[in-house]
Amino acid sequence: MRARHRRSAGSGPRILLVLVLLVVSIILFNRQIRPVMESETVNAAKVRAVGVINSVVLNEIDHDSVSYDSLVHIDRDADGRVLSVTSDVMKMNAFKAKTILDIQKQLDGEEDSSVKIPIGTLIGGNLFHGLGPALSLKVTLAGNVQADFKSTFESAGVNQTRHRIYLSVGTSVYSFLPGINSTTDISTDVLVAETVIVGEVPQVLVSTK
């Protein structure tokens, strides 16, 4: 009877110790490990998504032989002065729609990738950063893509203006991990065409054709 009583009395502190360790582990995970895991997976998602966006846009530019002259027309008077800078909205919208569709397909078709995080990095601190065996985490991408054109005009010398046309692409990327779901808004500008306009560019620019 006494032996049983001793065993029963000894099991209480052990159970309490296990519960304390469990609570400490949960707190450590939520305060230290979880933010690092989320940060690493978000960064991986950003790199992959931006890579896909840039690759698709540049491929479409090459495939459709997109150039500045195919998107914009500059009207001049008899003396060569710039009267208007006119964009071909139909061509630009067609290019934008096709690019959005291809980016969406690429993102939806991306296979899961692994992000390897050393245990020392998860623990935190400069002393252990990058040390220890790596924990492999899977990242899945999916997102809704939006895009629009934007132009910039800047001086390129005496009476010269550099006109750049960008396709600004944005998407919300979702990275899924067991117990961790992160949403990241990504926006990147890809240069589509540019030229140097010789002559004074009028303040009012026509944006349709």
pLDDT in tens, 5-64: 555 555 666 676 666 666 655 555 556 667 777 777 777 778 888 888 999 999 999 988
Rounded distance between C-alpha atoms, residue 10 and residue 131, angstroms: 38
Backbone angles phi, psi at 79, to 5 degrees: -95, 5
pLDDT at 149 over 90: yes
SS3 143: coil
**pLDDT of residue 180 exceeding 70:** no
Kindly list the distances between the CA atom of residue 118 and the CA atoms of 6, 39, 84, 131, in Å, as whole numbers in the listed order.
43, 14, 58, 6
| 150-162: b (≥16 Cβ within 10 Å) or e | eeeeeeeeeeebe
Which amino acid is located at 70 in the chain? S
pTM of structure: 0.70
Query: What one-letter code names the amino acid at 174?
Result: Y
pLDDT digits (tens, 9 = 90+) for 49-85: 888 899 999 999 998 888 999 999 888 888 778 888 8
